[in-house]
Chains A and B, each alone.
Chain A
Amino acid sequence: MSIAFKVNGQAVRFDGLQDTPLLWVLRDELGLTGTKYGCGISQCGACTVHVDGRAQRSCALPVSQIAGRAVVTIEGLAEGDALHPVQQAWIEGDVPQCGYCQAGQIMAAVEFLERYPEPSDDDIDANLSNLCRCGTYPRIRKAVRRAARQLQRSRS
C-alpha cells in the first residue's frame, strides 16, 4: 500500500514498510538529510519537523500516520534565498557549535513563536526542550528573543 503525503509543498509517495518512522523516509528515501537522528525515542528533538503546522518529533512517528498530511522540513523553511527570521536570528547570534541539533531547534522554535509571539523566559523554558549536547542553550534563548522581536516588527 502506498502512502501519499506532501513534503515542502511537493507530493510524494512511500511504498516501503508502513511502520517506517517519517524521519527515515525523509532521510533515506527522499534524501532530505537536514532532519537528524539523535535518539529514536522522541527524547532529543533533533528530528523535529512540522506536520500540518505542528512541530512533531519524526523519529517515532510512523509514516502511515502521515497519509494526506503536509510536512515541512528545515529544507523547506526558507523561501528561496529569504531565510526565516528564526534562521536569520540563529546566524546573527552565531548559535551553532557542532550544529547537529540546530535544524530541530529551529523547527521547534519557529512553531513555538507562532504560538507565543511574545514569549517570556518561563514560556521558553517550558516549551523548548530539544537537547543540545554542545550546550548552546544560552545562545538559543537569545536567538529566540531576537527572532520574536523581528517577527513582531514585520507584523506591525
Chain B
Amino acid sequence: MSLAERVNVNRRRILIAGVSATGGLICGLPALAAGPDAANVERQLGHFIEIAGDGRIIIGSNQPEIGQGVSTALPMLIAEELDVDWSRVTVRQMPLGIMKTADGFTWKYGGQGVGGSTGLTGNFDYMRQVGAKARRLLIRAAAQRQDLPEDQCSTRSGVVVCGPMGTTVPYEELITDAAALGPIEDDVPLKQAKDYRIVGKAQTGVGVRDIVTGQARYGIDTREPNMRYAVIARSPYLNGTPQTVDDTGARQVPGVLDVFEIQGPKPDEPYAILASGVAVVATSTWAAIKGREALKIEWNKGPNANDSSAAFWRDNEEMLRGKGQVVLDDGDFDTALASAETVVEARYRIPFVNHAPLEPQNCYAHVTEDRCHIIAPTQMPSGASRSAHAVTGIPREHISVDITRVGGGFGRRLTNDYVAEATMISKHTGWPIKLQWTREDDVKHDFYRPAGLHHLRAGVDRQGRVVAWTQRLASASKYFRRPNVPDDELWTAELYPDDFPRRMVENLRLEYFNHRIGVPRGSWRAPAHTANAFVVQSFVDEIAHATGQSPLELRIALLGDERELDYSNHGGPTFNPGRLTRLLRFVAKEIGYERSRPAGRGVGLATHFTFGGYAAHAIEVSVADGGELTIERIVAAIDCGFAVNPSAVHAQLEGGTVDGLSTALGLEITVKDGQIVQSNFHDYPLMRLAQVPAAFETHILPYGDQPTGVGEMGIPSAAPALTNAIFAATGKRIRTLPIAQQLSA
C-alpha cells in the first residue's frame, strides 16, 4: 500500500446497511473495550462514548498512540463537541475494528492507522461530529423526557438545560435513553473556535500518570496466560539464509522449548518479513536470548554478499556520470544554465539511518485452529490483521488486533513484519507467543531511511536571481522491492517534484538513478523530506554565499509572498511558500540573525514544507579550535494551521528538532561484506540531553482554523540549519551526513 493510500484510510466514509461509519449506533452495539465494560453497552453512545453512573466520561481513542499525542487530541475534539469538562474524561484505547462486507472489509470505528502526520487532520471533522451527534442525542433524550421541543434545550458542561425554568439533567441520567435513540446520519452544526473550552488550549497528555508510575502497557509488557517467549536469529547477510543449524547447545539451555527455521522472502519477493532465520522459543525472554546465543549457524551468504557502503557510493558516483531518468523538466534548464553569470555546484551524501524506536519490535500472537489474537505496538492495525491472515489463512473477521501503546513509531511500525513473525511462531508451536526483538535485531534489521548521493547545480544571473536548478539523485529507492512498483516509478518515493524551489525557479530539472543495494528500505519519519530539505536548504545557502547574498534574503526572494501553488504529493493539494517566508522572518528575528558573531560562532537558517505543515529553524553554534561543536541556541517555529493541543504541538517541534539534529550529528548505518555494520547504541549514538541547549525556544505561528499534522514537520529544517550555522561559524561546509568527526579533521 502506498503512503498515499495508507493515509487516505481516515477519509473513507462507507455506509453499510444500518451502520454509519461516522460513529452512529448499530444493533448489537460493540463494547467500547473487551472485558468487563462489555456490560456497559446500554451506557454507550456509538463506538466512542460511554457515560458512567458517576458522571465519568469514557472516550475511546481509535488511533495508535506512538507519542504524537493523537490519543489526547482526538478525545479532546469529542469532549469539546459533547460539551463535558475535560477533567471528567478518561480515554480508553480501542482495538482494531473491521467488519466483513460483501466484497471485502470496512472500518467499524473509522479509519485506523497513523503515518504521514494524518491522525489529526483525517479525524478533525469526524471526531467533532462524533461528539456533536452524541450531544444532540442527549438533548433529544432530555427534551423527550420533559416533553419539550429540542430547540428549548441546550447543554452546559455535561448537563442538559431545558425549558424556560432552565431545568438541568446530567448526562449520566440521560445516557440510557439517548443510547436507545436511533443514530443521527446527517452532520450536525459544530462549535465555533471562539467557543472552545478544551480545544486550542494546552492539555496534558492522556496516560501521563500511568507512564510516570510504570503502569502504561506497551507491546513488550504483554503478559498473557500460557505465553511463551521467542527470539529469532536472523540472517546477518542481506538476503542470506541458514545453511546449517546446530541447535544442540541451544536446546540445552534451561527454559528453551523449541528451535526451528523461519523462512524469509526470496531476494526478488516483497518483504513479508525481513529475513530468514532460526526461531528459539523458551519460558522467558532471557532463556530465549541465551538459547539463541548457543545456536551454531552457518549462513548461506546469498546474492548480496559483496554489498558494501564503499561500493554503493562508488556506484552512485559512476551513475551520476551518465544520464538518468529525467522526472521533471520545467522550462529550459540547459539554455538557462548556459546563460547564467555564476554556476554553483555541490554534492551531498545522505546515509542510511535506522528507526531505533526505544521499544524494540515485539508482538504477541496466539493462533488457534480458527482464531488469531494479536497484541502489538503497531502504527497500522489493519496491516497487522492482514499480515496475520497471510500467515495463517484464518479469516480476518476471526483475527482480533489489540493496539498497545507504542514505544516510538517513526515509521518503523507502519510495516507489520514482526506481527507476521510472531504469527508464524505461534502457528508452528500452537502456543501463545511473545516475540521479542533485541536492540541488535532492531539495528541490524530494519526498513532503513534510504541513502543517496545528491548532485546539485544552479545558475545565477547578474542580479543574483536563481535562473536554473537541477537536482540529480542516485539513491536506494524506498519503493525498491515493493509489489507493483515498476522501475520507472521508483523515483516517486525519493523526489517530491512540487517541493521548493519548483515554480520559484523557472528552469528546473530533476533526474533520478536507482541503486539496487540489498538493504531493505522504508518510510523513516518525514521520508524523503529529511534528505531533500537537507540538500536543498544547504545548497540555497551555498548559492547565497557564492554570490555574495544574504542566505535569509535569497530564501525570501525565492519563496516570495503568500500564494497557493499546486502540490501533488502527500500534504497537498496546495503549498503556500509565503507561510515559510513568515516563519523564516520570525526565527531570524528571534535569533538576531543580522547581528554579527565572533569567529567560531555562527547562525544558520532553514525552512521546509512537510506533508501540509510549515516549519523553520534558526540555530546558533560555536565551534572550538579543536573542532568541538556546541549547539548554543535553537529557535524553531511551526505553522500547523490551527493548533488543537498546543502542548503537543510544541512537543512535536521539540522532539522533531532533536530527531533531525541527532541524526545529522552522529547517525549512519553502513554495510560491509553484505552485512549491516552497526549493532547497538554504542555505535549508533543517539543524541543525549547534554547536547541539547537549554536555550531552545519553540513557537507556534497560527494560521486559519484548520489543523495540519505536526508529527513530522519539525525534522527536515533542523539539520540544514545546523550545518548552515557551522559554515557561518567556520567557513567549513558539511556536505556528508552524519557530521561525526568532520569538524576535527
Contact = CB atoms under 8 A, between A and B. Distances in A.
**A, B bound:** yes
Interface of A: 16-17, 20-21, 24, 27-29, 31-41, 43-44, 46, 73-75, 77-78, 83, 87, 90-92, 94-103, 106, 121, 124-126, 128-141
A101 B358 contact: yes
A154 B212 CA distance: 21
B214 A35 contact: yes
A46 B407 CA distance: 11
B696 A138 contact: yes
Interface string B48-76: 00000000000000000111110000000
Contact of B286 (A24, A44, A131): A24
- Considering residues B204, B286, B657, B658, which has the most beta carbons from chain A within 10 angstroms of its beta carbon? B286
- Considering residues B211, B356, B662, B690, which has the most beta carbons from chain A within 10 angstroms of its beta carbon? B211
B536 interface: no
A25 to B, nearest CB: 8
Interface stretch (B92-100, B129-137, B499-507, B648-656): B648-656
B430 interface: no
A129 B689 contact: yes
B546 interface: no
Given A39-B680, A96-B212, 16 more contacts: A16-B286, A17-B254, A17-B287, A24-B286, A33-B214, A34-B215, A36-B358, A38-B358, A38-B360, A40-B439, A43-B681, A75-B215, A94-B208, A97-B652, A137-B658, A138-B654
Contact of A37 (B207, B220, B656, B690): B220
Contact of B682 (A27, A41, A97): A41
A40 B715 CA distance: 28
B213 A73 contact: no
Contact of B285 (A24, A92, A94, A96): A24
A84 B363 CA distance: 33
Interface in B97-111: none
Q: 9 closest A-B pairs (Cβ-Cβ)?
A: A34-B214, A135-B658, A98-B67, A100-B407, A74-B214, A97-B67, A135-B655, A125-B690, A99-B211
Contacts of B547: none
A135 B656 contact: yes
B252 to A, nearest CB: 12
B212 A90 contact: yes
Contacts of B440: 40
B326 to A, nearest CB: 38
A24 B289 CA distance: 11
Interface of B: 65-69, 202, 204-205, 207-209, 211-218, 220-221, 223, 229, 254-255, 284-287, 290, 356-360, 405-410, 438-440, 647, 651-652, 654-659, 662, 680-682, 686-690, 692, 694, 696
A130 B690 CA distance: 10
A139 B358 CA distance: 18
Contact of A36 (B66, B68, B359): B359
B689 A137 contact: yes
A40 B254 contact: no
Contacts of B220: 33, 36-37
B68 A97 contact: yes
5 contacts: A96-B67, A103-B211, A126-B690, A136-B655, A138-B692
B117 to A, nearest CB: 14
Contacts of A87: 212-213
Contacts of A100: 218, 357-359, 407-408
Contacts of B69: 97
A33 B689 contact: no
B358 A17 contact: no
Contact of A29 (B65, B208, B284): B284
Contacts of B686: 131, 133
A156 to B, nearest CB: 25
B594 to A, nearest CB: 26
A18 B690 CA distance: 36
Nearest to A90: B212
Contact of B358 (A90, A91, A133): A133
A28 B690 contact: no
Given A20-B286, A28-B285, A99-B207, A43 B682 contact: yes
Contact of A78 (B213, B255, B692): B213
A102 B5 CA distance: 34
A140 B655 CA distance: 12
Contacts of B208: 90-91, 94-96, 99
Contacts of B209: 91
Nearest to B355: A133
Contact of A94 (B651, B658, B680, B692): B651
Nearest to B210: A99
A135 B286 contact: no
A133 B692 contact: no
A147 to B, nearest CB: 11
B689 A124 contact: yes
B205 A96 contact: yes
Contacts of B687: 135, 137
Contacts of B647: 94
A7 to B, nearest CB: 12
Contacts of A102: 211-212
B66 A98 contact: yes
A95 B688 CA distance: 16
A101 B217 CA distance: 13
Contact of B360 (A37, A74, A121, A124): A37
Contact of A139 (B410, B654, B680): B654
A16 B284 contact: yes
